């Protein structure tokens, strides 16, 4: 399925029904016109000219099929010009048939057009906004009521005849209006449910990736620390050895960064805001999902804006978890070589979970920080604050490779 075909499978302002309904249009239109043809045959003695009546029937039968073809050629949407042309042809049928039928028979089955054209208007709802279809249905109903009213005083012509004509002309359009409102609502609810499910799955995957990344880092440190301690404990290496001392200092620094700096969030920049005023326990720490090491390659202004946003969030107490995720534009296909090739887009997502989510989303400082980061802010389920931005990458950053998170 192409992207163009996929777009036709969802309701829109210009096309309320998906493309699969085109088949239903053809089926319903053909059934209505065949029924009208049967009525013409049964009432053939009531027409002043049967060939002229058949020509009007042919016009009425051709309009919905031609609209399907025209909509297909125009990308699934019937243009205003084509719609007005179809409306004009159906108006000719509505006005021309009463001329061919004597006044005494205008309230009988010889007037097949009220139901046939009404169904045709129903089928046009697949290609045009509902407002246009309802306007046409109103005009069609008025013409039918006026033509039937001219037969008053004739046998079988009365108020019930007017009611039958009004129902035949207007009911199809009113029915499709009711159906479309429910159909579009159902599609929107489904899209919201699918979006919520994908968001939950994405956050779960991000949380798992954060834990896996932390475990991998600590595991790499453990693979170096344990052999070093074992060698010192067994006497195969001494703490006075200069090489052992250098290795121990390096490992100590890396462990400190993983266990302390990752907890406080100071891996952003040394100038990251402190938690003074809220207490050490008010801030749950800052989790980082950055498997491609993109944080150090953010532009200085964007990294500074991220610090400001984190600082604004820290002024709200009650967070259970705060995390920052950075992913390349196409994480499924990007390689390390491609990421190092030069400036490229990256998606930065800040997710904070806790009771202050709604208040933080209304905080002017948080909003200003998000705008500075060019991030969109939303609150999900009143307890999840999400800020997401698409940022460019720079070749160099303030953080040296040695202290990247």
Instruction: Decide if pLDDT at 281 tops 80.
Output: no
Instruction: Decide if pLDDT at 213 tops 50.
Output: yes
pLDDT, tens digit, 9 for 90 and up, residues 134-158 = 888 888 888 888 888 887 777 766 7
Calculate the average pLDDT of the chain.
76
pTM exceeding the 0.75 threshold for the entire prediction: no
Residue 257 has what pLDDT?
Answer: 65
Average pLDDT over residues 32-58: 88
CA 158/CA 382 separation, integer angstroms: 61
Domains within the chain, CATH numbers bracketed: 3-193 (no CATH), 270-403 (3.30.565)
Question: Which 8-state DSSP code applies to residue 274?
Answer: P
Beta bridge partners of 289: 325
Lowest-confidence region among 31-35, 96-100, 199-203, 342-346: 342-346
CA 361/CA 367 separation, integer angstroms: 7
Element (H, E) at 33: helix 21-42
Q: Are strands 286-289 and 319-328 parallel, antiparallel or unpaired?
A: parallel
Instruction: Decide if pLDDT at 23 tops 50.
Output: yes
Banded pLDDT at 47 (limits 50, 70, 90): confident
* Helix and strand numbers, DSSP H then E, in the chain: 13, 5
CA 358/CA 382 separation, integer angstroms: 6
């Amino acid at each position: 399925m192409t992207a163009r075909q996929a777009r036709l499978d969802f309701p829109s302002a210009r096309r309320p029904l998906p493309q699969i309904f085109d088949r239903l249009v053809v089926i319903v239109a053909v059934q209505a016109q065949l029924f009208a043809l049967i009525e013409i045959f049964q009432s053939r003695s009531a027409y002043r000219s049967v060939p002229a009546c058949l020509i009007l029937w042919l016009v009425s039968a051709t309009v919905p099929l031609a609209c399907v073809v025209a909509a297909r050629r125009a990308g699934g949407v019937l243009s205003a010009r084509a719609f007005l042309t179809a409306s004009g042809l159906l108006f000719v049928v509505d006005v021309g048939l009463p001329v061919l039928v004597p006044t005494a028979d205008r309230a009988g089955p010889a007037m097949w057009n009220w139901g046939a054209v009404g169904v045709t208007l129903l089928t046009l709802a697949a290609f045009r906004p509902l407002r246009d279809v309802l306007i046409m249905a109103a005009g069609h109903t008025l013409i039918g009521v006026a033509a039937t009213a001219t037969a008053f005083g004739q046998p079988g012509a009365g108020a019930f005849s007017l009611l039958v004509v009004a129902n035949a002309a207007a009911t199809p359009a009113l029915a499709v209006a009711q159906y479309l409102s429910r159909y579009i609502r159902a599609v929107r609810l489904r899209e919201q449910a699918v979006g919520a499910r994908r968001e939950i799955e994405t956050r779960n995957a991000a949380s798992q990736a954060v834990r896996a990344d932390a475990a991998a880092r600590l595991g790499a440190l453990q693979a170096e620390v344990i052999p070093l301690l074992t060698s010192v404990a067994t006497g195969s290496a001494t703490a006075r050895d200069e090489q052992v001392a250098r290795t121990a200092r390096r490992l100590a620094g890396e462990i400190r960064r993983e266990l302390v700096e990752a907890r406080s969030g100071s891996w952003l920049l040394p100038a990251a805001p402190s938690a003074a005023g809220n207490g050490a326990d008010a801030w749950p720490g800052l989790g980082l999902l950055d498997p491609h090491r993109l944080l150090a390659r953010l532009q200085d202004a964007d990294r500074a804006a991220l610090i400001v946003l984190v600082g604004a969030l820290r002024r709200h107490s009650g967070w259970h978890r705060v995390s920052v995720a950075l992913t390349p534009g196409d994480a499924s296909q990007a390689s390390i070589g491609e990421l190092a090739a030069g400036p490229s887009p990256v998606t930065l997502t800040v997710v904070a979970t806790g009771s202050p989510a709604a208040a933080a989303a209304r905080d002017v400082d948080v909003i200003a920080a998000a705008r500075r980061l060019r991030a969109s802010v939303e609150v999900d389920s009143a307890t999840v604050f999400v800020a997401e931005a698409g940022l460019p990458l720079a070749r160099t950053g303030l953080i040296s490779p040695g202290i990247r998170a």
